[in-house]
């Protein structure tokens, strides 16, 4: 009697995978009594890619770490949707230097976006032994620091740097502009829609900001410096 196990090559999840293997005879019939084994393994190397969405299912008493590196002249970002059991489970977002970027580290995260200006952003999920609240959804992006990057449409903001109360936003696409302005730790400071080319930035302090403009479902993000 011959025993063998054909090797299956296929698509494996980044988080964890489970395979059941068993021995068969030369007629491909499982042995009786069965000789089988369940193997659990992971192909995850702790990194994500720009533009990738990763779904992690929380597990009691386990930590999960993932990071993305955007490369030169790019700002890394992550958008988080998660429900962390308040004061028991935690989620930390850090830059390449290890600085924590999120002020709130527990509770509900709804489309919470954070940016790292050094091009590296990492997320750590820390769960205790009690109740876990399902999936953590992480969407990683790499945003150009230069205003000359090419994307779905072209956009220019001027003056940039700005030392006034208003800037002009000119785009190659016409329509109502949904404008969001974020600071470098991902906190949204302005969320408005305008039908003209001017944007009131009088509430912004001196610093570096990201301006995201969406027109008819198309988005463009550029850097704005306020003096």
Q: How far apart are CA 181 and CA 80, in angstroms?
A: 17
CATH class of 155-226: mainly beta
CATH class of 53-144: mainly beta
Question: So where are the chain's domains?
Answer: 1-44, 53-144, 155-226
Summarised one tens digit per residue, pLDDT across range 49-98 is 989 999 999 999 989 999 999 876 678 889 999 999 999 999 999 988 89
Summarised one tens digit per residue, pLDDT across range 202-223 is 999 998 898 999 998 888 888 8
pLDDT of 109 above 70: yes
pLDDT of residue 152: 59
User: Within a 10 A sphere around the Cβ of 70, how many other Cβ atoms?
Assistant: 23
């Amino acid at each position: 009697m011959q025993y063998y196990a054909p090797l299956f090559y296929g698509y494996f999840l980044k988080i964890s995978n489970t395979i059941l293997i068993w021995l068969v005879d030369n007629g491909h019939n499982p042995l009786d009594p069965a000789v089988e084994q369940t193997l659990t393994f992971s192909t995850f190397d702790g990194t994500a890619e720009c533009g990738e969405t990763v779904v992690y299912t929380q597990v009691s008493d386990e930590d999960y770490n993932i990071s993305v590196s955007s490369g030169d002249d790019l700002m890394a970002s992550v958008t988080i949707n998660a429900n962390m059991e308040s004061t028991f489970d935690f989620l930390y977002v850090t830059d390449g230097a290890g600085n924590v970027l999120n002020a709130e580290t527990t509770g509900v995260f709804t489309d919470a976006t954070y940016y790292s200006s050094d091009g590296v952003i990492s997320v750590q999920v820390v769960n205790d032994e009690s109740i876990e609240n399902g999936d953590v959804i992480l969407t990683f992006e790499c945003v150009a620091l230069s205003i000359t990057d090419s994307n779905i449409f072209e956009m220019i903001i001027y003056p940039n740097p700005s030392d006034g109360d208003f800037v002009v936003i000119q785009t190659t696409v016409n329509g109502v502009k949904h404008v969001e302005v974020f600071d470098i730790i991902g906190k949204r400071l302005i969320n408005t829609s305008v039908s003209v080319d001017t944007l009131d930035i009088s509430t912004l302090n001196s610093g570096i900001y990201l301006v995201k403009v969406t027109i008819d479902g198309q988005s463009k993000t550029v850097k704005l410096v306020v003096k």
